[in-house]
Amino acid sequence: MTKILGLSGSLRKNSYNTALLRAAAAAAPQGVEVDVATIEGVPLYDGDLEEREGVPAEVQQLKDRVMAADGLLLVTPEYNNGIPGAFKNAIDWMSRPPADISKVFKGRPVALMGASPGGFGSILAQSHWLPVLRTLSMRPWFEGRLMVSRAGSVFDEEGTLTDEALRGRLQDFMEGFVAFIAQESRTS
């Protein structure tokens, strides 16, 4: 069984990105489990807090879920043409202490997707993630970026995917990412 941690970088209750993540989990091939997570509850990074109390429980739980997964799927919103601060903050916390970076991130296959109400579907945020992934020594899957533009037209009010063409793209994306994870596990 292949296990993927899908992490939505949105805090909104009715997030298009969390809806996209749920749809991706439903589109995963047989024999693949997608653990759906969000960054809810992750406090702002504060070195003094870390020194006093260590890594917060919410962050440690996310780190444990990443370490239990064969791959990581980052589902990113795009704010002001870049990475949302709250999402980057969660990843920054997960890289603490620095000695944990190799356990949590190094060599881990990672894929990016995102949804936006605008016309560009998080393309710039996805590009901005690449230096972060490189710094964490992850293995990005470059053949399958998925960008959902005008997300309000493909999800209903409950966050259910209503667009069949996108459902097919999601299935192809998930199959490709799972194949990449399998290939990476054979080469590492």
- At residue 188 the predicted structure's pLDDT band, cuts being 50, 70 and 90, is low
pLDDT digits (tens, 9 = 90+) for 105-138: 999 999 999 999 988 889 999 999 999 999 999 9
- At residue 144 the predicted structure's pLDDT band, cuts being 50, 70 and 90, is confident
- Can you give the pTM of this predicted structure? 0.96
The pLDDT, as a whole number, for residue 186 is 73
* Lowest-confidence region among 16-20, 142-146, 152-156, 161-165: 142-146
- What is the secondary structure of the chain as a DSSP string? -EEEEEEE----TT-HHHHHHHHHHHHSPTTEEEEEEE-TTPPPP-HHHHHHH-S-HHHHHHHHHHHT-SEEEEE---BTTB--HHHHHHHHHHT-SGGGHHHHTTT-EEEEEEE-SSSSTTHHHHHHHHHHHHHTT-EE--S--EEE-SGGGTB-TT--B--HHHHHHHHHHHHHHHHHHHHHHHH-
Mean pLDDT over the full length of the chain: 96
The pLDDT, as a whole number, for residue 35 is 98
User: What residue type is assigned to position 174 of the chain?
Assistant: M
The pLDDT, as a whole number, for residue 166 is 96
Question: How far apart are the C-alpha atoms of 187 and 182, rounded to whole Å?
Answer: 9
In this predicted structure, the answer to whether residue 81 has a pLDDT above a threshold of 90 is yes
User: What is the CATH T-level fold of the domain 2-187, as seen in this structure?
Assistant: Rossmann fold (3.40.50)
